[in-house]
Amino acid sequence: MDFGPVPSSQGQHAPDAEALRFPAASRRVKIGLVFDRYYPELHAGVVRAAREFDWELGQPLFSLRGAEGGLGDCDGVLLVTASAPDVGWLATLPCPVVGILDEAVEAEASGMAQVTLDFAEAGRMAARHLLALELPHLGFISRNEGGAEGLLGKSFMAACRSEGLRGFSCQVAPARERLKRQIAALPLPCGVLTDDDALAVELIDCARDLGFCVPEDLAVLGVKDVALVHGRSQVPVSSVHMNLEAAGHAAAETMHGILCGDLPADHRCVIAPKGIAARESTAVPTRGAPRISKALQKVRQDFSQPLTISLLAKEAGTSVRTLQRLYPLATGLSVSDDIMARRLEAAAGLLRRSRHKLQTIAAETGFRNAKNLCRRFKEAYGMTPGEWRESGSASAA
């Protein structure tokens, strides 16, 4: 969510060290939450840390404007925003502020500790993923003017150039019909990295309206891997997993360290991306794919059924060893990892759209039982299915 510009001010500074003392032991620490942009996975990481530290979390505020009125009794504030918040009241708070930002800003300008996402590495990861598809054209598409000059766009374009491919970059129009015209003018086939998952979903919708095949004509890769967003797509969206749950937890850990006196008020840390969550939007048939196309189709259609490598090899008319060699070339994942990813995606969708019991969801998505679903879900998402629902990841759509 982007709530637009906020009131400007000058002279922001970090709170005095004396003001950052740990609250009296007679009461629980109260932490305020302000979301300029809301990510359920990040919120879940904060919630997990709050349980570990026995914090009281204040009711989340979803706009920077007027937020100071709800933070007066807080011992610390966690702020989620895209860049340096130009908000004068941050400097007046008698408590530390930890910002979770897309890109780092000068400490003097922010007046707060910072947890940032490593978009430079995300751009390189994205380039490696799209380059492996062996498409003749690659590009970076952004909603924002100058988006290609940010860390994500710069590192992506540089990685493409290092492999001898001159990529293109463009800013897309907000109007859907203009966006369609821009997509129609793209050199096809091509692969594109967008600056967020929401834009990836919109590109896919427009491309399909134009009669393009995704991913064969246009392969689309998003960023942040926010299930609340990419779950709306007609085609499952591949995305750079930015480890938002870990970022939320790290921000809370930073706050705890500041309150305890173990970290300075301007502490910084960077969260590395977890990897590529490969899904159908970049599943371009590459080397060897025609030989295993029946196996790929079987997995896409029947992932919730008991599937073995030997059964899929028989379906494709090839050996187990050949299937194991060719499958990652076509999908970027091993057979078992692709099946598991599709089952987890389906389970997350049911959690988002329904109130079914876990046993029912497990049965419908290929997990043997609720216990197995919970174990696999937590390994992949950093939280149990119940915590996922509780954090709002499932119900906010």
**How far apart are alpha carbons 256 and 26 in whole angstroms?**
17
Model pLDDT, residue 333: 80
Model pLDDT, residue 268: 92
What's the one-letter identity of residue 93? L
Distances (CA, A) of 161 to 26, 140, 141, 168, 335: 59, 13, 16, 11, 31
Confidence of residue 19 (pLDDT cuts 50, 70, 90): very low
Domain hosting residue 153, numbered range: 120-242
Provide the token pair at 256: 């705890």
- Assess whether 220 and 259 both reside in one domain: no
Q: Which residue has the higher pLDDT, 132 or 126?
A: 126
**76: which strand partners?**
31
Model pLDDT, residue 2: 38
Model pLDDT, residue 82: 67
Distances (CA, A) of 200 to 122, 136, 195, 278, 296: 16, 20, 8, 13, 23
**How far apart are alpha carbons 252 and 80 in whole angstroms?**
12
What's the one-letter identity of residue 340? M
- Assess whether 358 and 258 both reside in one domain: no
- Assessment of whether the complete model's pTM goes beyond 0.75: no
- pLDDT higher than 60, residue 11: no
Confidence of residue 189 (pLDDT cuts 50, 70, 90): very high
pLDDT in tens, 201-243: 999 999 999 999 899 899 999 999 998 898 888 889 999 999 9
**How far apart are alpha carbons 396 and 391 in whole angstroms?**
9
Tell me the torsion sign for CA atoms 180, 181, 183, 188: positive
**How far apart are alpha carbons 258 and 261 in whole angstroms?**
5
- Assess whether 161 and 200 both reside in one domain: yes
- Assess whether 36 and 101 both reside in one domain: yes
Distances (CA, A) of 327 to 290, 296, 315, 316: 11, 8, 13, 11
Average pLDDT over residues 254-266: 95
Average pLDDT over residues 34-40: 88
What's the one-letter identity of residue 324? Q
| Domain CATH number, residue 330 | 1.10.10.60
CB neighbour list of residue 177: distance below 8 Å, 6 or more residues apart: none
**How far apart are alpha carbons 292 and 330 in whole angstroms?**
9
Q: What value does the mean pLDDT of the chain take? A: 83
Model pLDDT, residue 388: 78
Q: Note whether residue 1 is domain-resident.
A: no
Q: Which residue has the higher pLDDT, 13 or 217?
A: 217
pLDDT in tens, 267-288: 999 999 988 888 889 987 655 5
Q: Which residue has the higher pLDDT, 354 or 123?
A: 123
Distances (CA, A) of 326 to 154, 174, 203: 32, 40, 29
**How far apart are alpha carbons 247 and 242 in whole angstroms?**
9
Percent of the chain exceeding pLDDT 90 equals 45
For the chain, how many structural domains are there in total? 3
- Assess whether 249 and 190 both reside in one domain: no
Cβ burial of 365 (10 Å; 0-12, 13-18, 19+) is: buried
- Assess whether 182 and 226 both reside in one domain: yes
Cβ burial of 286 (10 Å; 0-12, 13-18, 19+) is: middle
- pLDDT higher than 70, residue 395: no
Q: Which residue has the higher pLDDT, 73 or 148?
A: 73
Q: Give the per-residue SS3 of 134-170.
A: CCCEEEEEECCCCHHHCHHHHHHHHHHHHCCCCCEEE
Q: Which residue has the higher pLDDT, 235 or 352?
A: 235
Model pLDDT, residue 10: 34
pLDDT in tens, 42-87: 999 999 999 999 999 988 888 766 666 668 789 999 998 866 565 5
- Assess whether 234 and 323 both reside in one domain: no
- pLDDT higher than 50, residue 38: yes
- pLDDT higher than 60, residue 145: yes
- Assess whether 213 and 181 both reside in one domain: yes
- pLDDT higher than 70, residue 147: no
Average pLDDT over residues 125-129: 91
Cis peptide before 23 (omega within 30 of 0): no
What's the one-letter identity of residue 300? R
Model pLDDT, residue 18: 43
Q: Note whether residue 394 is domain-resident.
A: no
Q: Note whether residue 259 is domain-resident.
A: yes
- CA max distance for the chain: 72
Average pLDDT over residues 337-348: 86
